[in-house]
Chain A
Amino acid sequence: MTSQSYYVPAQSRWPILASIALFLMAFGAGSLINAMSADTGGGSGLIMLLLGSLCMGLILTGWFGHVIDESRQGLYSDQMDRSFRWGMSWFIFSEVMFFAAFFGTLFYVRTLAVPWLGGEGDKGVSNMLWQDFSASWPLMQTPDMDAFPGPAGLIDPWHLPLLNTLLLVTSSVTVTIAHYRLKQDRRSQVIGWLALTIALGFAFIVFQALEYAEAYDELGLTLHAGIYGATFFILTGFHGMHVTLGALMLVIIMLRVIRGHFEPDHHFGFEAVSWYWHFVDVVWIGLFLFVYLI
């Protein structure tokens, strides 16, 4: 035990505000998808989603700013530093569980549930429900094509997905060079390499949006195109949200470097964001392999 004092921050309004904004986003997104299914337009769902997103952006900016100010005032002890590291650990644990659940869904559907419905394996008897159905993956012909028509086509992995893979892997190289330059205290180079990383990250998001437009408009690959469409969009969509969050965090880190924050031997915020970017890249490689390619 040490006698070092533990810095306890004052009560904060950010958690409750973030909860309200997240509720607005989730409720708005749910209402929007329901309205789209019923073909009644976006309406209030879209407004709530955009309002929630705007509030969340403002809250993150304010919250990060608050923590950075307190850190710069020297209010954080070594104990507080360890608390940040534990916070990061639990955050990453939840992220791993989150993606494990979705990748697990993909494997379950692909290797178990769909073959069962096609009459294979232990529970192949379930084929009696749709006797004309034969299993395949990607599932182009769903058991009930009237209720859930399958996609007419698939995303070609050698165009936008390959380009996006190259963009993200390159951005991991550039963020690692920025990391090394920070260790060497060559700050102008850190800013340059970070700016390049951010540009690559936002380019990824733009190309992903183009891919979605192609999927919806030309391929009939939508959220309603059976289980393949649903798993495709939930995996790539949540990954896209993580890239967006990671890119925003990189922007904040770059602004901090411009303002002279971080030392070569004291830069947890920088290192954590850099690591997170690598994590997002590894998830994408998993998606490229298991959703698009193999």
Chain B
Amino acid sequence: MIKSLIVFIFIAIIISLFAGLYFLLKDQSRSHRTVQSLVLRVSLAIFLLLIILLGVYSGDLQLRTAFPIPDS
């Protein structure tokens, strides 16, 4: 479940990034669409990091590496 969510958010990050590229090439710096796409992109990245940390703390996300998340 959580791995599917991570993959879904990662794909959304890539789509918003390339939407930004499309507007960069299309709008000739005159619109706000590029920067808006990039705001969405970085917001999704922050959300993804939170989901990863939440998943590891709760134990729902099993990592292949042997490293436990450090105790805070």
Contacts and interface: CB of A to CB of B under 8 A. Distances in A.
A278 B42 contact: yes
Main secondary structure of the interface of A (DSSP, over half): helix
Interface string A251-294: 00000000000000111101110110011011001100100111
A59 interface: no
A206 interface: no
A285 B10 contact: yes
B25 A88 contact: yes
B54 to A, nearest CB: 14
A154 B65 contact: yes
A282 B17 contact: yes
B69 to A, nearest CB: 6
A267 B32 CA distance: 12
Interface in A172-206: 172-173, 176, 179-180, 183
Contacts of B63: 157, 293-294
Interface in B1-50: 3, 6, 10, 13-14, 17, 20-21, 24-25, 28-30, 32, 34-35, 38-39, 41-42, 45-46, 48-49
Interface residues of B, number: 33
Q: Contact size class for A? A: 35 or more
B49 A165 contact: yes
B64 A85 contact: no
Contacts of A57: none
Contacts of B70: 158
Contacts of B39: 176
Interface in A80-122: 81, 85, 88-89, 92
Interface of B: 3, 6, 10, 13-14, 17, 20-21, 24-25, 28-30, 32, 34-35, 38-39, 41-42, 45-46, 48-49, 52, 61, 63-67, 69-70
Interface of A: 81, 85, 88-89, 92, 137-138, 154, 156-158, 165-166, 169, 172-173, 176, 179-180, 183, 265-268, 270-272, 274-275, 278-279, 281-282, 285-286, 289, 292-294
Given A89-B25, A281-B42, 6 more contacts: A169-B46, A169-B49, A271-B24, A271-B34, A282-B13, A294-B3
